[in-house]
Amino acid sequence: MADSSNKMDFQLLKRVLQLAMPFKKIFILAATLAIVLAPVAIMRPKIIQTMVDDYITVGDISGLMTMMMLFIGVLVLEAILNYTFIYSTSLLGQSVIRDLRVRVFNHISKLKLTYFDRTPIGTSTTRTINDIETINQVFSQGAIQIIADFLTVFAVLGIMFYTSIMLTLVCLTTMPFLIWATYIFKEKVKISYQKVRNKISEMNAFLQERITGMRIVQIFNAEKQEMSKFKKINRDYTQANLDAILYYAVFFAVVEIISAAALGLMVWWGASSVLEGSVTIGALIAFPIYLSMLFRPMRMLADKFNQLQMGLVASERVFKLLDRTDFIENKGTLKADKIQGNIDFKKIWFAYVEDDYVLKDVSFDIKKGETLAIVGSTGSGKSTIINLLNRFYEINKGHIEIDGHELKDYELYSLRKQIAVVLQDVFLFSGTVLENITLRDERISRKEVIEASKMIGAHEFIEKLPGGYDYKVMERGATLSMGQRQLISFVRALVFNPRILVLDEATSSIDPETESVIQYAIEKLIAKRTSIIIAHRLSTIRHANKILVLSKGEIQEFGSHEELLEIENGHYRDLYEMQFFQAAE
């Protein structure tokens, strides 16, 4: 089982290192410096030993000055190499995660909506930010640094044995205790780090949901309950960090004791060896420096192994996301640029969850330029029809055709470019009104936006905003009214000049005064376009060529407004009379 785990970790490490292939030159530079630094590092104590034995003890001042200059030169060289090594490994790590962030975001944007239906946004945020940042440690604090530390340890041990075998063996008597302490520390910190990663993911998901839904929290006076939940998550996260800090504090203290014991043994044995003449004074002075150089990387190796391990844990999560293949296939070759807008649903069956069908044997057609209204109770499948038309989900059975060709035959992005959707809950991004309309598409000019706004009837209100089209919209359009946000979404739909327009309950949250403005905008939008309108207010859909009545995913009635009113005890007639009498009251 352990062999299987180690093999998996190695494969994971190999995959992480492959991310550095586009930056091969930086990687080779960092690896070369890791090799060069080890012999350069041990030159300092060796020069000190030589200065004491060959120059100070014999009083060679001129030679000592030469050795001092050599010592300073080595010191400067080591500093430059260290700086270059640290900078190159950090640059490598930042370059890798910069490209990886773009790759992950691009991948997420192509996933099916089922991923977003089932995955908290905070979890995706953690994968894109925190986990990818942790992968940086594989390069800046992990693999290459560990290689450099191992090379330093072997180089120091080699020079120590070369200088005095017995003195080295005496110093190494404490090494089993260090190895045992390092292993315990590595395992404990690994567990605590895993808890930290899980807790920060949980905290991100919690915060994202609560901050987004703060209006609901405040409306229902749920601040205390939510604060209580957050305090528990925060407390668990803090405790996980404190556990890691505790292990660090204990481990470093133990290492200091072990290194002090090694130093004490070295002085005790070395002093007697100097008196006997088997060890020189220079060697006795150089050995504490060797010990420091030996214990420092060994003390940090455990931490760096854990950093590497946490980087691998984070990379496993990121790769698991990147390995997801649940995105809409884009194998179509037909361009939708010149579609007429004839839509045909043929015996459509669809389920979000296996066998729990939301649409059951749904068939209808819309001719180019016609308007279809869809009505029905909540959960009847109205929005699902829109989702399938945009290919946000794949149908289970049946066929959807546009101009006689199946949706799968069209190139996905050209198809979606010809279908504009205006939702009930308008989403506006942080940025200017102009940017929210064009979605930063440079092909759409300001002049086109203004013309579309005038056509819709939105230009007057936009001009009154501070800065007009350059007015900064806050996140989700919080500083604008529902009607203003809706008008901006209409302009957005119009400037992209789609052949098919979908209005998903676009007037359900609008007051009667604003509704007349919105209704005018709708009439302008649907002119000469194939349109699908989902609405609760039946007064807004009288002009529709056809009306589709849905109930529990099945078509109950289909026809014009007048035809459906003639059906005795019909669903549409009941809904219409109910709303008519409510309006009369």
Is residue 555 scored above 60 in pLDDT?
Answer: yes
Range in 104-113, 368-377, 386-395, 576-585 with the lowest mean pLDDT: 576-585
- For residues 458 and 518, what is the distance between their CA atoms, to the nearest angstrom? 9
pLDDT in tens, 159-205: 888 888 888 888 888 888 888 887 788 777 777 877 887 888 788 88
pTM: 0.71
Strand ranges (E), 98-166:
none
Say what the pLDDT of residue 364 is. Answer: 92
The residue written with tokens 């749904």 in the block is 362
Single out the residue of 558, 560, 559 nearest to residue 543, CA to CA. 560
**Which CATH number does 424-497 carry?**
3.40.50.300
- For residues 297 and 174, what is the distance between their CA atoms, to the nearest angstrom? 16
Strand ranges (E), 132-195:
none
- For residues 120 and 118, what is the distance between their CA atoms, to the nearest angstrom? 7
How is the chain split into domains, by residue range? 2-322, 329-418+498-585, 424-497
Q: 329-418+498-585 and 424-497: same fold? A: yes
**Average confidence (pLDDT) over 391-414:** 91
The residue written with tokens 């009930």 in the block is 424
Range in 12-16, 55-59, 123-127, 576-580 with the lowest mean pLDDT: 576-580
Q: 532 near 386, Cβ under 8 Å?
A: yes
| Ordered DSSP codes for 508-562 | TT--HHHHHHHHHHHHHHHTTSEEEEE-S-GGGSTT-SEEEEEETTEEEEEE-HH
**CA distances from residue 123 to 119, 201, 203, 321, 322 in whole angstroms, order as listed:** 7, 6, 9, 11, 14
Is residue 382 scored above 90 in pLDDT?
Answer: no
Q: State the helix-helix crossing angle for 281-322 and 43-50, rounded to 10 degrees.
A: 180
**Average confidence (pLDDT) over 41-64:** 82
Q: 193 near 310, Cβ under 8 Å?
A: yes
Query: What's the full length of the chain, in residues?
Result: 585
Say what the pLDDT of residue 514 is. Answer: 60
Q: Greater confidence, 396 or 478?
A: 396
pLDDT in tens, 98-142: 999 999 999 888 888 878 877 777 778 888 888 888 888 888 777
**Which CATH number does 329-418+498-585 carry?**
3.40.50.300
Query: Does domain 2-322 correspond to CATH entry 1.20.1560.10?
Result: yes
Say what the pLDDT of residue 548 is. Answer: 92
Strand ranges (E), 395-510:
397-402, 405-406, 419-422, 431-432, 472-473, 500-504
| Residue 365, helix vs strand vs coil | strand
| Residue 345, helix vs strand vs coil | strand
Determine how many CB atoms are found less than 10 A away from the CB of residue 443.
Answer: 8
Strand ranges (E), 115-196:
none
Strand partners, 406: 401
Q: Greater confidence, 543 or 396?
A: 396
**Average confidence (pLDDT) over 478-496:** 82
Say what the pLDDT of residue 581 is. Answer: 57
- For residues 416 and 418, what is the distance between their CA atoms, to the nearest angstrom? 5
Q: 302 near 251, Cβ under 8 Å?
A: yes
Please, what is the end-to-end C-alpha distance for the chain in angstroms? 74
Say what the pLDDT of residue 580 is. Answer: 63
Say what the pLDDT of residue 95 is. Answer: 92
pLDDT in tens, 432-442: 889 988 888 88
Task: Report the C-alpha dihedral over residues 271, 275, 281, 284, rounded to 10 degrees.
Answer: -20
- How is residue 275 written in tokens? 């008196």
Strand partners, 366: 343
